[in-house]
């Protein structure tokens, strides 16, 4: 029997090289012990717990703070949020005209391609294109088709309008407007394969495109992965209000046909950007930079922390809106057996990760249909933000999500569970085990 520390800094129990399960407490080590792990690779095996205490490996922690990468990433996501807000408003006024279907029937819009081109261009300009490797959701196949000619034109226009605003965000604009070829290049450059070694960015230009086209919640998610670990994450949530109280208001606002008068723009503070750096023990939230409000960079940022609620009867869980993306009936059964009494918060996109990191909800669960493989860009940024805000994220077997295997979260056990704390998390994981066999998943 051996105890290993996983890359997620939780404990794992192994027997003769067979994984048994993760520890129940999901200890969140930091500092010196974290350094040992980073120095010795993804897992470090200790035959007995004593080794942890007596280990002579406790050397000073090296500083690798990714501050430049984080700074550029936050600015790029702020800029992308402003792009999306404009496109969302115009899509809604065009009654959905401008939404394309991909081969798997999922929606894609001008915003998805434009954000991908813009962020790709900014990262390349900031760090040098030969140093930047990106995995992102969109490709140019659909965009290059003859019938998408009008859309391609709109994408080029949107990217250039957006990049013209870059200096307001402390970023460089191109000297001349980008041409169609450059925009297509910026999109198609995001074709890294990822994997266990080296550094790459992962981008979901619009996560929750369905929410986006419905005028509801969506997110822009950018993360940096190094040697298979997510080292920083940024989540832009343009419709997620700075203050939780406005969330309900926002929901009603979008679901009601008759328009309510929104609160005054100052108190509304619609939209936020969350970010975190691995190992810092901190996660931060900025308000959106509203270009038309004449705000200057840098915005104020405040720390966010997960909820302290660990009593299931007081906890709220969130999950995808669409039943096709996660089984509502399975989570309903889980909620019942764990003693979760509140109505689930169903929200599009990685805004769910934001809700947990900010303490607006306590649990996030996603159980996709068998055969669906989760993609790294749908989780990377959210995972590091929740972990640094004090929460726990694992698969349903209690193991860390593995970002080192390419574009998919290979080996994911049943589903993704994120919680504000270890107590709640363990209860959910146990309940999954207890009810899985009788589920139809
Ligand atoms: N069949 C299936 N099962 C599970 N997940 C799927 C599936 N199809 C797509 N996707 C991915 O889900 C992303 C949206 O997840 P959400 O949690 O926002 O779902 S929901 O829109 O609230 O229902 C969505 O991200 P975006 O494409 O960026 O919107 C997809 O990557
Ligand atoms: Mg997505
Ligand atoms: Mg997307
Ligand atoms: Mg998509």
Active site residue ranges: 112, 209
Residue 20 lies in a domain: yes
* Cα of 242 from ligand 2 centre, angstroms: 22
What span, in angstroms and rounded, lies between the C-alpha atoms of 137 and 375?
Answer: 9
The sign of the CA dihedral 315, 320, 326, 328 is: positive
CATH code for position 421: 3.40.190.80
The sign of the CA dihedral 84, 90, 94, 97 is: negative
Within this chain, do residues 392 and 318 fall inside the same structural domain, yes or no? yes
Residue 254 lies in a domain: no
Within this chain, do residues 290 and 384 fall inside the same structural domain, yes or no? no
Does residue 109 line the site of ligand 1, with CB under 6 A? no
Residue 280 lies in a domain: yes
Within this chain, do residues 293 and 318 fall inside the same structural domain, yes or no? no
What span, in angstroms and rounded, lies between the C-alpha atoms of 330 and 323?
Answer: 10
DSSP labels for 232-294?
EEEEEETTS-SSTHHHHHHHHHHH-SSPPPPPPHHHH---EEEEEETTSS-EEEEE---GGGT
Task: Output the tens digit of pLDDT for each of the chain's 441 residues.
Answer: 555 555 444 555 555 555 555 543 333 343 334 333 433 344 444 444 444 444 444 555 555 789 999 999 999 999 999 999 999 999 887 766 778 888 889 999 999 999 999 999 999 999 999 999 999 999 998 888 756 678 999 999 999 999 999 999 999 999 999 999 999 999 999 999 999 999 999 999 999 999 999 999 999 999 999 999 999 999 999 999 877 765 655 454 444 433 444 444 444 568 999 999 999 999 999 999 876 555 566 668 999 999 999 999 999 999 999 999 999 999 999 999 999 999 999 999 999 999 999 999 999 999 999 999 999 999 999 999 999 999 999 999 999 999 999 999 999 999 999 999 999 999 999 999 998 877 777
Does residue 316 line the site of ligand 1, with CB under 6 A? no
Which 3 state secondary structure label does DSSP give 418? strand
Determine phi and psi for 201, rounding to 5 degrees.
-95, 150
Residue with the smallest CA separation from ligand 1 atom 24 is 208
Relative to the CA of 208, which ligand 1 atom is closest?
A: 29
Does residue 349 line the site of ligand 1, with CB under 6 A? yes
Q: Is 430 annotated as a binding residue?
A: no
Q: Is 103 annotated as a binding residue?
A: no
Within this chain, do residues 19 and 156 fall inside the same structural domain, yes or no? no
Q: Name residues with Cβ closer than 5 Å to ligand 2, which is an ion.
A: 204, 207, 378
CATH code for position 196: 3.30.540.10
Q: Both tokens of residue 129?
A: 């294109």
Which 3 state secondary structure label does DSSP give 195? coil
Residue 194 lies in a domain: yes
Q: Is 137 annotated as a binding residue?
A: yes
Within this chain, do residues 350 and 283 fall inside the same structural domain, yes or no? no
Q: Are 138 and 116 in contact (CB under 8 A)?
A: yes
Residue 327 lies in a domain: yes
Within this chain, do residues 205 and 299 fall inside the same structural domain, yes or no? yes
Q: What is the pLDDT of residue 206?
A: 98
Relative to the CA of 212, which ligand 1 atom is closest?
A: 29
Q: What is the pTM of this model?
A: 0.84
Residue 263 lies in a domain: no
Within this chain, do residues 186 and 39 fall inside the same structural domain, yes or no? no
Within this chain, do residues 102 and 205 fall inside the same structural domain, yes or no? yes
Determine phi and psi for 385, rounding to 5 degrees.
-65, -45
* Cα of 207 from ligand 4 centre, angstroms: 7
Q: What is the pLDDT of residue 54?
A: 44
Q: What is the pLDDT of residue 23?
A: 47
Q: From 304, 321, 348, give the residue that closes a domain.
A: 304
Cβ density class 188-205: b for 16+ within 10 Å, e for less: bbbebebbeeebbbbbbb
Query: How many domains does the structure of the chain reveal?
Result: 3
DSSP labels for 153-164?
HHHHHHHHHHHH
What span, in angstroms and rounded, lies between the C-alpha atoms of 206 and 417?
Answer: 22
Residue 391 lies in a domain: yes
Q: Are 385 and 272 in contact (CB under 8 A)?
A: no
Q: Is 61 annotated as a binding residue?
A: no
Within this chain, do residues 289 and 338 fall inside the same structural domain, yes or no? no
What span, in angstroms and rounded, lies between the C-alpha atoms of 86 and 84?
Answer: 5
Q: Which domain holds residue 81?
A: 67-239+271-304
Within this chain, do residues 10 and 34 fall inside the same structural domain, yes or no? yes
Q: Are 168 and 120 in contact (CB under 8 A)?
A: no
Residue with the smallest CA separation from ligand 1 atom 19 is 320
Residue 129 lies in a domain: yes
DSSP run (H or E) holding 136: strand 134-136
Within this chain, do residues 163 and 300 fall inside the same structural domain, yes or no? yes
Write the ipTM. 0.99
């Amino acid at each position: 029997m051996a105890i290993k520390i996983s890359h997620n800094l939780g404990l794992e129990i192994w027997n003769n090289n067979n994984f048994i399960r993760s520890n129940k407490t999901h200890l969140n080590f930091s500092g010196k012990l974290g350094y040992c792990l980073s120095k010795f690779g993804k897992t470090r095996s200790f035959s007995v717990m004593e080794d942890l205490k007596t280990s002579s490996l406790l050397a000073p922690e090296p500083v690798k703070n990714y501050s430049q990468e984080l700074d550029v990433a936050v600015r790029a996501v702020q800029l992308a949020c402003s792009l999306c807000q404009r496109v969302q408003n115009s899509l809604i006024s065009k009654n959905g005209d401008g939404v394309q279907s991909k081969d798997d029937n999922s929606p894609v819009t001008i915003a998805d391609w434009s954000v991908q081109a813009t962020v790709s261009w900014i990262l390349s300009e900031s760090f040098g294109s030969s140093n930047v490797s990106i995995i992102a959701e969109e490709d140019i196949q659909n965009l290059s088709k003859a019938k998408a000619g009008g859309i391609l034109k709109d994408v080029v226009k949107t990217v250039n309008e957006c990049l013209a605003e870059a200096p307001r965000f402390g970023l460089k604009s191109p000297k001349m407007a980008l041409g169609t070829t450059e925009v297509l290049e910026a999109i198609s450059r995001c074709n890294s394969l990822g994997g266990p070694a080296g550094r790459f960015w992962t981008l979901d230009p619009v996560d929750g495109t369905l929410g986006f086209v419905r005028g509801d919640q969506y997110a822009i998610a950018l993360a940096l992965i190094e040697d298979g670990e997510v080292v920083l994450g940024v989540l832009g949530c343009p419709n997620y209000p700075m203050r939780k109280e406005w969330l309900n208001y926002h929901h009603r606002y979008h679901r009601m046909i008759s328009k309510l008068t929104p609160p005054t723009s100052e108190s509304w503070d619609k939209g936020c950007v969350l970010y975190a750096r691995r190992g810092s023990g901190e996660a931060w939230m900025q308000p959106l930079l509203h270009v038309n409000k004449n705000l200057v960079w840098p915005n104020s940022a405040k720390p966010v922390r997960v909820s302290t609620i660990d009593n299931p009867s007081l906890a709220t869980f969130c999950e995808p809106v669409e039943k096709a993306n996660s089984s509502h009936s399975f989570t309903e059964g889980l909620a019942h057996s764990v003693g979760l009494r509140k109505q689930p918060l169903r929200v599009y996109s990685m805004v769910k990760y934001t809700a947990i990191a900010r303490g607006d909800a306590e649990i996030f669960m996603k159980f996709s249909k068998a055969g669906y493989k989760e993609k790294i860009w749908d989780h990377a940024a959210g995972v590091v933000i929740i972990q640094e805000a004090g929460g726990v994220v694992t698969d349903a077997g209690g193991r860390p999500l593995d970002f080192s295997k390419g574009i998919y979260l290979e080996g994911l056990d049943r589903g993704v569970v994120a919680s504000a704390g270890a107590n709640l998390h363990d209860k959910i994981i146990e309940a999954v085990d207890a009810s899985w066999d009788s589920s139809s998943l």
